[in-house]
Amino acid sequence: MTVTDQDITIAMAFAFRHLKVVAEPSGACALAAVLAGHVPHESGTIGVVISGGGVDLPTFHRLISQPSHRKDHARA
């Protein structure tokens, strides 16, 4: 399965705003797949590993502050 760059930055913003976790782009890919609806979870609970804080603060802020990410777009 694949996720888009936008899916990843939405996941980064979601993790920061709701989980208080700073994740680098590669560390937010699994969450991005879930939030984008690529992972079926109707049958129960799923676990997602969110990792890495290896992103500098200015870049992180720029990524999660994009206009399309200011409101929750999570579909999970």
> Of 26, 51, 75, which Cα lies nearest the Cα of 9?
26
What are the mean pLDDT values of the chain's consecutive 10-residue runs (76 residues total)?
Answer: 94 94 95 93 87 88 78 50
Six-digit token pair at 32?
């991005």
The angle subtended at Cα 36 by Cα 3 and Cα 14, nearest 5°, is 100
Helices (H), 1-76: 5-14, 29-35, 57-64
Where do we find the tokens 């609806």? 37
